[in-house]
Amino acid sequence: MTRSLFSPLALGRVELPNRIAVSPMAQYSSDADGCASDWHLAHLGQLCYSGAGLLMTEATAVEPAGRGSLRCLGLYGDAQEQALARVVAFCKQWGSARVGVQLSHAGRKASIRPPWAGRGPLPPEEGGWQPLAPSALAGDAGAPVPQALDEQGIARIRQAFVDAAARAARTGFDVVELHAAHGYLLHQFLSPLSNQRGDAYGGSAAGRMRLPLEIAEQVRAALPADRALGVRISASDWAEGGFGLDDAVALAGALKEIGCDYVCVSSGGLVGHQRISVGPGYQVPFAAAVRERTGIATRAVGLISRPEQADAIVRSGEADFVALGRAMLDDPRWGWHAADALGGQVPYPKQYERAASKVWPGARPAR
């Protein structure tokens, strides 16, 4: 069968009905304990029938100190698990998308205000806390200096990822994705710009990869065999001396050997002095290179917005599937409209079938 945006994709034992994914997108709308709110029910609920084959939650912290802000989502206790289970159950009852969770720890990017409040550091009097990192290095001028993790702290966080993955499986998620990009903690361990440790978790490339690989291996072992495991990785820090494409290829190859089913290839977000060259599909060549050199399934991201663009990425073999973020916020029925534009098919909820172009004459003029 010719690959297209609308052909199915197997990630391990999880089959996606098509190759469209909704990217993880931070909402800064949980309660103060990191529990999913009615906003998450409405946000993810509307996107579960967008026509996408995979719906990802936002970065979801594995411990309270791993949240980006006080209102970031978490999965580290019974209350957080129960709140997310409500959302997942809704999405799986009414939508056609497989549902995934992105497990994360913000590291030195933790304890900030939300974007609409300026993103600055959250002071202790407003509930802020001490950020953690592999080394006591601030990510940008004016940012707080994080506390360097000792081996006990590393062990605690490693177990927190494993525990959160077990909670994700109980909650009903089909896919678990580890966040090792965008300057979050696992990315901080990977990059020589943020990891200047002299122990077994630093120094060489192998040392810097050690914690992310340990977590991936232990999470894979903790997950049922019928759940897929992926990792979001970075292919460039966009800064001299940083983590680069060859590093990403080495990491992806090691993740494949562990049993990871895919990598999502992104870039940037680690340091304030990065110099990114941004344009439509600017990160797709990274995904293509990782896929070609390792054979692992890849997801492409980064200013992908048009159906023709997304379909071309899949048909050309640059990536196995694509993820869209802001394009989905702008058009929560992106998958429907892409199918109309390209002559493909995506599932509609029965309640909305009357709006399909094959039965509604007004569909094409409206779109």
CATH of the domain at 321: 3.20.20.70
Number of domains in the chain: 1
Q: Is 28 a catalytic residue?
A: no
In a domain, 120, yes or no: yes
* Catalytic-labelled residue, pool 28, 49, 76, 184: 184
305-358 tens-digit pLDDT:
999 999 999 999 999 999 999 999 999 999 999 999 999 999 899 999 898 888
- What's the domain range around 320? 9-366
For residue 113, what pLDDT is reported? 95
In a domain, 3, yes or no: no
Q: What secondary structure does DSSP assign to 187-198, as a single string?
A: HHHH-TTT----
Nearest-CA neighbor of 310 among 353, 339, 330?
Answer: 339
In a domain, 316, yes or no: yes
| C-alpha span between 191 and 240 (Å, rounded) | 11
78-132 tens-digit pLDDT:
999 999 999 999 999 999 999 999 999 999 999 999 999 999 999 999 999 999 9
Can you give the pTM of this predicted structure?
Answer: 0.96
In a domain, 228, yes or no: yes
Please identify which residue in the block is written with the tokens 């089913």.
261
- Number of helices followed by number of strands (H, E) in the chain: 11, 12
Q: What secondary structure does DSSP assign to 218-273, as a single string?
A: HHHHHS-TTSEEEEEEES--SSTTS--HHHHHHHHHHHHHHT--EEEEE---S-TT
In a domain, 2, yes or no: no
**116: DSSP letter:** G
Say which residues have a Cβ less than 8 Å from residue 37's Cβ, sequence separation at least 6: 29, 30, 31, 83
- Average pLDDT value over all residues in the chain: 95
287-319 tens-digit pLDDT:
999 999 999 999 999 999 999 999 999 999 999
Beta strands in the chain (DSSP E): 9-11, 14-16, 20-22, 54-61, 98-104, 132-133, 147-148, 175-180, 228-234, 262-266, 297-300, 321-324
Retrieve residue 155's tokens: 């062990």
What is the Cα gyration radius of the chain? Answer: 20
Give me the torsion for CA of 349, 353, 357, 361, rounded to 10°: -150
